[in-house]
């Protein structure tokens, strides 16, 4: 099968959906001629024109609000938010408006919009351009949240997001834009709420999201060399979350580490860990472990930044302790 980059995959998904449905349009900063700073959207304005690929001023709350209103009245906007860190600027429009409109209208109004943005540290971009903020929006009822972990997922999830009648936030890992993966030429969609088992194993389950899927896979390889069989699962969407697959694996292996690049406290890892604790407690041989980003703003210095995100070696060390029966938090 041909291999394309994550960037190309997103670009293809958008182009295909825009060809299929005239009401889909893209709105954001430097999305047209510039094709975004990451060049993900290059070529789209040439095909679809500036009426469907709209450059905006640097006014995130403004264009987010326009997208919400446009989505409520017959179009399907794809809002491009240049960095995930800027999500704070659009929080009212996203969380008070888009997320609640369907509910508050008693089901009479829909907001079929996609907010595409990114996450991920270690790009030496400091505290305001490196955050992984998906937990903030996953907390708000009414928003779906997708976290593609490869070019293949990025394309299929984007197409599904655009066809979804609810607001969907997609976070791409900005360090993965040039990573290639096999992506079929034929059309495909990836349903929301279906986790993917990337590797089967029997001793421990590693649940990784987005950028951390690679980390878990690497860790599983290292563990396998040490005689430990790790299962690796990518939930792909955290809202909705495929609990059944996660619980099934937890019951099978009896040990789980959840790895995510958001801050560890009050985050995705805690949510998934506690669901497993609640629903698979008697099958577990060890506490479910959370591994998130350190609870500090992302530092600029390379000497510090690399310490703040989970690494394969860190996952391996924790997995070994769990498998060896060393209680990490001896009670």
- Is 139 part of the annotated catalytic residue set? no
Q: Say which entry of ligand TPP, another protein, none residue 299 contacts (CB below 5 to 8 A, set by partner kind).
A: another protein
The one segment of 1-9, 82-90, 144-152, 210-218 that binds ligand TPP by CB under 6 A: 82-90
Tell which one of 125, 229, 277, 311 touches another protein (CB under 8 A): 125
Tell which one of 100, 198, 240, 300 touches another protein (CB under 8 A): 300
Q: Is residue 57 close enough to count as binding another protein by CB under 8 A?
A: yes
Provide, rounded to whole angstroms, the least separation between the CB of residue 54 and ligand TPP.
15
Q: Is residue 175 close enough to count as binding another protein by CB under 8 A?
A: no
Q: Between the CA of residue 106 and those of 75, 76, 168, 313, what are the distances in Å?
A: 20, 21, 20, 49
Concatenated DSSP letters of 226-282? TT--EEEEE-SEEES--HHHHHHHHHHHS-EEEEEEEESTTSHHHHHHHHHHHHHGG
Classified as helix, coil or strand, 286 is coil
Concatenated DSSP letters of 168-193? EEEEEETT-TT-EEE--SS-----TT
Of the candidates 12, 5, 2, which has an alpha carbon nearest to the alpha carbon of residue 41? 12
Q: Is residue 47 close enough to count as binding another protein by CB under 8 A?
A: no
Q: Say which entry of another protein, ligand TPP, none residue 300 contacts (CB below 5 to 8 A, set by partner kind).
A: another protein
- Which one, 37 or 43, has the nearer CB to ligand TPP? 37
Concatenated DSSP letters of 126-142? -TTS----HHHHHTSTT
- Which one, 137 or 322, has the nearer CB to ligand TPP? 137
Tell which one of 129, 134, 174, 255 touches another protein (CB under 8 A): 129
- Region 77-116 residues binding another protein, contact defined as CB under 8 A: 85-86, 89
Q: Element (H or E) spanning 155, and its range?
A: helix 151-163
Between CA 160 and CA 169 the distance in angstroms is 12
130 touches 184 (CB < 8 A): no
- Which one, 84 or 267, has the nearer CB to ligand TPP? 84
Please return the burial class of 310, using the count of CB atoms within 10 Å of its CB with bins 0-12, 13-18 and 19+.
Answer: buried
Between CA 138 and CA 175 the distance in angstroms is 22
Query: Pattern 1-30, binding to ligand TPP, x per CB under 6 A?
Result: ----------------------------x-
Provide, rounded to whole angstroms, the least separation between the CB of residue 262 and another protein.
16
- Which one, 22 or 33, has the nearer CB to another protein? 33
Of the candidates 8, 3, 2, which has an alpha carbon nearest to the alpha carbon of residue 158? 8
155: which 2 tokens? 């394309």
- Region 48-67 residues binding ligand TPP, contact defined as CB under 6 A: 58, 60
Query: Pattern 147-166, binding to another protein, x per CB under 8 A?
Result: --------------------
- Is 129 part of the annotated catalytic residue set? yes
Residues in the site for another protein, rule: CB under 8 A? 29-30, 33-34, 37, 55-59, 61-62, 85-86, 89, 123-129, 294-297, 299-304, 307-308
Q: Which residues are catalytic?
A: 60, 129
């Amino acid at each position: 099968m041909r291999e394309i980059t994550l960037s190309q995959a997103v670009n293809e998904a958008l182009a295909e959906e825009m060809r299929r449905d005239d009401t889909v349009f893209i709105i954001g900063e430097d999305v047209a001629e510039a094709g975004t700073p990451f060049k993900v959207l290059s070529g789209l304005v040439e095909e679809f024109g500036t009426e469907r690929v709209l450059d905006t001023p640097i006014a995130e709350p403004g264009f987010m609000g326009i997208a919400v209103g446009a989505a409520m009245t017959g179009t399907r906007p794809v809002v491009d938010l240049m960095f995930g860190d800027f999500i704070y600027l659009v929080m009212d429009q996203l969380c008070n408006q888009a997320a609640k409109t369907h509910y508050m209208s008693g089901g009479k109004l829909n907001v079929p919009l996609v907010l595409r943005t990114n996450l991920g540290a270690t790009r030496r971009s400091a505290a305001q351009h490196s955050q992984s903020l998906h937990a903030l929006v996953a907390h708000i009822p009414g928003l779906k949240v997708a976290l593609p972990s490869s070019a293949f997922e990025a394309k299929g999830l984007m197409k599904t997001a655009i066809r979804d009648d609810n607001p969907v936030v997609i976070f791409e890992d900005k360090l993965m834009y040039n990573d290639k993966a096999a992506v079929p030429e034929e059309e495909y969609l990836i349903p929301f709420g279906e986790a993917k088992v990337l590797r089967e194993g029997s001793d421990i389950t590693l649940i990784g999201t987005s950028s951390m899927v690679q980390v878990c896979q690497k860790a599983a390889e290292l563990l396998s060399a040490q005689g430990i069989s790790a299962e690796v699962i990518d939930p792909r969407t955290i809202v909705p979350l495929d609990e059944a697959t996660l619980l099934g694996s937890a019951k099978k292996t009896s040990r789980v580490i959840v790895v995510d690049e958001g801050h560890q406290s009050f985050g995705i890892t805690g949510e998934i860990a506690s669901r497993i604790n609640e629903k698979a407690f008697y099958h577990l041989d060890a506490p479910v472990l959370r591994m998130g980003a350190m609870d500090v703003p992302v530092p600029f210095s390379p000497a510090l930044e690399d310490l703040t995100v989970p690494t394969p070696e860190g996952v391996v060390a924790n997995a070994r302790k769990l498998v060896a029966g060393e209680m990490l938090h001896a009670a």
